[in-house]
Amino acid sequence: DAGVIQSPRHEVTEMGQEVTLRCKPISGHNSLFWYRQTMMRGLELLIYFNNNVPIDDSGMPEDRFSAKMPNASFSTLKIQPSEPRDSAVYFCASSPAGGVTEAFFGQGTRLTVV
Amino acid sequence: QKEVEQNSGPLSVPEGAIASLNCTYSDRGSQSFWYRQYSGKSPELIMSIYSNGDKEDGRFTAQLNKASQYVSLLIRDSQPSDSATYLCAVNSGSSASKIIFGSGTRLSIRP
């Protein structure tokens, strides 16, 4: 299996622009997680899905952030409008059985908002 | 209180010695995990531990005490390649289906 695939690997955008991050989970995994990692705050859980349904989005920082999972093989995280403080590495991870088993991470998207 | 707490380090250990990493958590999660993250890379799973007691895998031993909400990771015969950030994680929530991470401990193995 190719593992969790994220795109793009790097994104540089101007403040105020819309940013869309993409994730393809491992086939057969029924849970998907979006994390954000910064030096100051570490690895924060933003939202997670079970069977394509958002279960807990309490980590989403504000209304500028939204996430969707239209099917079992694809998810997006959108930031609109983007701000410099959104600069971070965003990871997508998937798990075969919710959080009962471990999560497998993608390579991450490094987002820079200037 | 943060849900998962770790000493940020850096923890410096001489090559060949035992490195000891500790983690406490606030929610009575069912499972605990240790991940390793090299600089610029994504976290990768080292160990998962679900039951109280010790679990050994090669040079790594995880110890879990659910009553004390404490989990540790011991690395024996530390190697320079073990230098990385080690992230503790637990599953949490009403259905124990979300995985929460600590901020990580930076480990440096000095030759």
B64-72 CB contacts, 8 Å cutoff, 24+ apart: B64/B32, B66/B28, B68/B24, B69/B24, B69/B25, B69/B26, B69/B27, B69/B28, B70/B22, B70/B23, B70/B24, B70/B25, B71/B22, B71/B23, B71/B24, B71/B25, B71/B32, B71/B34, B72/B20, B72/B21, B72/B22, B72/B23
Closest among A22, A29, A26, A28 to A7, alpha carbons compared = A22
Residue A98 or A11, more confident: A11
Q: Cβ of A55 and B103 within 8 Å?
A: no
Model pLDDT for residues B35-90, shown as the tens digit of each residue: 999 999 999 999 999 889 999 999 999 999 988 999 999 999 999 999 999 999 98
| Cβ density class B24-58: b for 16+ within 10 Å, e for less | bbeeebebbbbbbbeeeebbebbbbbeeeeeeeee
Smallest CA–CA distance from A109 into chain B, residue: B42
Pick the range with the lowest mean pLDDT from A34-38, B89-93, B98-102, B106-110. Answer: B89-93
Nearest to B42 among A41, A48, A107 (CB): A107
Residue A54 contacts B, CB cutoff 8 Å: no
Query: Mind giving me the DSSP string for B55-93?
Result: EEETTEEEEEETTTTEEEEEESS--GGG-EEEEEEEEET
Indicate the average pLDDT of chain B. Answer: 91
Model pLDDT for residues A46-96, shown as the tens digit of each residue: 999 999 999 999 999 889 999 999 999 999 999 999 999 999 999 999 998
Pick the range with the lowest mean pLDDT from A35-49, B25-39, B88-102. Answer: B88-102
Q: Which residue's structure tokens are 């890379």?
A: B41
Question: What confidence tier does B26 reach under pLDDT thresholds 50, 70, 90?
Answer: confident
Nearest to B98 among A48, A91, A104 (CB): A48
Question: Percent of chain A having pLDDT more than 70?
Answer: 96
Residue B31 or B21, more confident: B21
Cβ contacts of residue B82 below 8 Å, gap of 6+?
Answer: B19, B75, B107, B109
Q: Report in angstroms the alpha-carbon separations of B26 from B4, B5, B30, B66, B102.
A: 6, 9, 12, 11, 11
Q: Which residue's structure tokens are 């080292």?
A: B46
- Note the pLDDT of residue B93: 63
pLDDT of residue B2 exceeding 70, the answer is no
Query: Mind giving me the DSSP string for B34-56?
Result: EEEE-TTS--EEEEEE-SSEEEE
- Note the pLDDT of residue B9: 83
Question: What confidence tier does B96 reach under pLDDT thresholds 50, 70, 90?
Answer: low
Q: Cβ of B93 and A56 within 8 Å?
A: yes
Separation between Cα atoms, residue A31 and residue A28, nearest integer Å: 9
